[in-house]
Chain A
Amino acid sequence: MNAFLQALFLQAGYNAALVAIGAGLLGFAAGSSGTFMFLRKRALFSDAVAHATLPGVGIAFILMVSLGGDGRSLPGLLAGSALSAWIGLLLIEWISRRTRLAEDAAIGAVLGVFFGIGIVLLTVVQSMSAGRQAGLEGFLLGSTAGMLFQDAVVIAIGGSLAVLVTWLMRRPMTLVAFDSDYAAAMGYNVRRIDLLMMSLVMAVTVIGLKLVGLILIVAMLIIPAVTARFWTERSSRVIWIAGAVGAAAGYLGAALSASAPALPTGPIIVLVAAGIFVVSLLFAPVRGVLAAVIRHRRFQARVHRRQGLLALAAQHPIREAYTLRLLAREGLARPDGVPTETGRAQAAKIARDERRWDVAREIHQDAGLTGRYDGLTPIEEVFTADEIAEFDRRLGPPVALGGA
């Protein structure tokens, strides 16, 4: 615990602090730029882009070594991975636009094939020079052990740029994500904006490669956005909430992984993000599971209450145990089903409401109003007092219920 707190407050050493800050920044950039892919219903596109970076890493290494340089130079490897990811996303776009294959098939094909080519190149690299190849496998699952100040700077600058572009282009990207036809009609170039979204994802993938690896960066692009969606219905807020979730997952995850041995950073960050996701799925105020269950229970209670009162008014016996319990709890009926004084009054009111609705549906031609009859809405919420007085005139004066 102590070690975790130390790492949390950046006291666990230079490298751990660097990793934590870098992971937090990367999480923010990934969360916010992944949002639009999610809203465009293309979340798994990121998966293909991430896997498509691998051949680039291999080619860059081979090129740099054969030109006599150091194969592990990070900018070179990142440039290579960006290039091959770019080719991959253009191919996906081309396949799904020009052939009859669906987008998911294009995504899967590019993902599998590029990864396969990447593996081929990695075996080439391995056979080239056993001593110098170490570290390329780190791009698969990430490695934070040898993170340098320079790497953190790359993440910070690249991440800020990605967030900035996301912020600047948020309006056109939101439009395209929700209604691309409308965006096209407004004069936006949908294809170009789609490419921009994909390039943002690609940029984040490339800068995150070293830290979390190409398989798990996908999680940082998808999970925060999906999580944020539970907390708000406004797209402008989803971006920032997703960024915050990503940053929290990155920072906490990095701190956790620094606090004990054998806790690899990438997987821990992903699991922290998944934890936040599960909490949101269950407990988010409107879209969460708990909220939905409560909403359902309330609705159920309303239906049972109303039907129970209608049965009381019509002097039908109530056989449904839940209805009886509900009415008894509210003091509207005794446990054996005999209505109390308040129960009788309420029942008469509900029965009258129902009869008013009957009249309303008979004489009113406006389906927009009468269509709101669902057996639950009090008529006062739909019609004006004058109109209700008119229904009452047709109904006649209130009559006492039999047996009262």
Chain B
Amino acid sequence: MGAEFVQFSLTPILIGIFSAIACALPGNFLILRRQALIGDAISHVVLPGIVVAFLVTGVVAAVPMLLGAAGAAILAVILIEAVKRLGNIEPGAAMGVVFTTMFAAGVLILEQTDTSNVHLDVEHALMGNLESLIWFRAEGWHSLLDPVALASLPDELIRIALVCALVAALTRIFWRWLKIATFDEGFAQALGIPARALGFGLVVMAAVAAVAAFDAVGSIIVIAMFICPPAAARLMTNQLEHQIGWSVAFATLSAILGYVFAGYGPLWLGAQNAVSAAGMIAAVSGVILGLACLFGPHRNRIGAARDAA
């Protein structure tokens, strides 16, 4: 637990934790509003966004790609709404039509352009690459106080930390509005809360979290981060405040355990190579959700216990 840990494991673990928390916070509200799958849609359109951003700018740089991905996410949300309204189609199917089409377009553009000399491949975008985000200059815990070493922290860590702080701050600021609008949209509107704008804002916030986390964990596993910790938290309590607390705890736990199991688990089992940390984080969050489904104190619907008896 010394220099090596700080150099190779500290930053990936921190990035994992921040990603998981940034996704879990909006995830709580998405689940309560039965919009959980908007995370699914957003995460799939991140790929076309990044590809188009690369096409326009011609460089693999973080900022244009994040902008491209965020733009694609917002475009997807607008298109879904348009298909839903114009075609009178239920939301799930509208999402399915829009995000698969955008994803297909992204793959096609990627194949059409010559990206062989840059590091931009589909598998990387889908699976993420948490392990590679190491802190080269770190020499031990004391590097945390060394400005030269700190300057070489991976950009991803700073970015996801900022996004996580932003998401947390926005959740705190709009807490009352979000809470009221989530449980009773009509009442919220009667109070003068712009409930529809708030709903759109929530989706945009989720998109920002997904895009920032995408860097680290890949676009598909973000879905697990949106849904599993909040869903497990939902089965632990009836209080929204406590649910948020549980979800943050579960998200953190998934990130740490997932990273540790991925890095050291195979070694314990006698294998040579580590496995995908992002995938393992999703798997651990799934196990936590499974345990919550089996033993969570509030796992049943109201009245379900009586039905079973």
List residues of A whose CB falls within 8 A of some B CB. Answer: 38, 41-44, 46-47, 51, 95, 98-102, 104-105, 107-109, 111-124, 127, 137, 140-141, 215-216, 218-219, 222-223, 225-226, 229-230, 262-264, 266-268, 270-271, 274, 277, 281, 287, 289
In the complex, A393→B113 CA distance in Å?
A: 81
Given contacts A223-B96, A226-B94, 5 further A-B contacts (CB under 8 A): A38-B93, A102-B36, A113-B228, A119-B218, A127-B273
User: Separation in Å of the A138 CB from the closest CB of chain B?
Assistant: 11
Sample (6) of A-B pairs whose CB atoms are under 8 Å apart: A41-B93, A102-B31, A108-B226, A109-B286, A123-B275, A127-B271
B residues near A, CB below 8 A?
Answer: 31, 34-37, 39-40, 44, 83, 86-90, 92-97, 100-101, 103-105, 107-108, 111-112, 122-123, 126-127, 218, 220-228, 231, 234-235, 262, 266, 271-276, 278-283, 285-286, 289, 293, 296, 298-302, 304
Please state if B123 and A137 are interface contacts (CB–CB under 8 Å): yes
Chain A nearest CB from B222 CB (Å) reads: 8
- Residues on B with C-beta less than 8 A from A141 are 107, 122
Q: Are B224 and A271 in touch, CB under 8 angstroms?
A: no
A124 to B282, CA, bound (A): 16
Whether A113 touches B96, Cβ cut-off 8 Å, given contacts A122-B276, A271-B104, is no
Residues of A within 8 A of B293 (CB): 95, 98-99, 101
Residue among A109, A121, A229, A270 with the highest chain B CB neighbour number at 10 A: A109
Could you tell me the dominant secondary structure of chain A's interface residues?
helix
Which residues of B sit under 8 angstroms from A108, Cβ to Cβ? 36-37, 39-40, 223-224, 226-227
Alpha-carbon distance A219/B123, docked complex (angstroms): 19
Which residue of chain B has its CB nearest to the CB of A127?
B273
Contact status B300-A100, CB under 8 Å: yes
Q: Which residues of the partner chain A approach B107 to less than 8 Å between Cβ atoms?
A: 141, 216, 264, 266-267
Q: Are A115 and B282 in contact (CB under 8 A)?
A: yes
**Is B282's CB under 8 angstroms from A116's CB?**
yes
Contact A105 B108 (CB under 8 A): no
Contacts of A51 in B (CB 8 A): 220
- Partner among B86, B96, B111, B272 whose Cβ is within 8 Å of the Cβ of A289: B86
Q: Which residues of B contact A216 (CB under 8 A)?
A: 100, 103-104, 107
B278 adjacent to A226 (CB under 8 Å): no
- Contact A44–B301 (Cβ < 8 Å): no
Residues on the B chain within 8 Å of A124, using CB: 266, 271, 275
Given contacts A107-B37, A274-B104, contact A101 B92 (CB under 8 A): no
Q: Find B105's partner among A46, A123, A140, A267 (CB 8 Å cutoff).
A: A267
Q: Contact at A116–B97, with CB atoms within 8 Å? A: no
In the complex, are the beta carbons of B31 and A105 less than 8 A apart?
A: yes
B279 & A109 in contact (Cβ 8 Å cutoff):
no
Q: Are A105 and B227 in touch, CB under 8 angstroms?
A: yes
Contact B101 A109 (CB under 8 A): no
Given A119-B221, A127-B273, A287-B87, residue A270 in contact with residue B101 (CB < 8 A): yes
Q: How far is the CA of A277 from the CA of B101 in the complex (A)?
A: 10
A112 adjacent to B227 (CB under 8 Å): yes
Complex alpha-carbon distance, A287 and B88, angstroms? 8
Taken together as a complex, chains A and B put the C-alpha atoms of A268 and B103 apart, in Å, by 11
Alpha-carbon distance A119/B280, docked complex (angstroms): 8
Write out the residue numbers on chain A whose beta carbons fall within 8 Å of the beta carbon of B96.
43-44, 46-47, 218-219, 222-223, 226
Cβ A119 vs Cβ B278 within 8 A? yes
Residues of B within 8 A of A116 (CB): 220-221, 224, 278-283, 285-286
- Minimal beta-carbon separation of A288 from chain B (angstroms): 8
- In the complex, are the beta carbons of B286 and A104 less than 8 A apart? no
A115 with B220, Cβ < 8 A, contacts A99-B235, A264-B111 known: yes
- What separation, in Å, do the CA atoms of A75 and B88 have in the docked complex? 41
Task: Report Cα–Cα, A101/B273, bound state, in Å.
Answer: 37
Complex Cα–Cα for A44 and B92 (A): 6
Report which residue of B36, B96, B122 has the largest number of chain A beta carbons within 10 angstroms of its beta carbon.
B96
Closest to A46 in B: B96
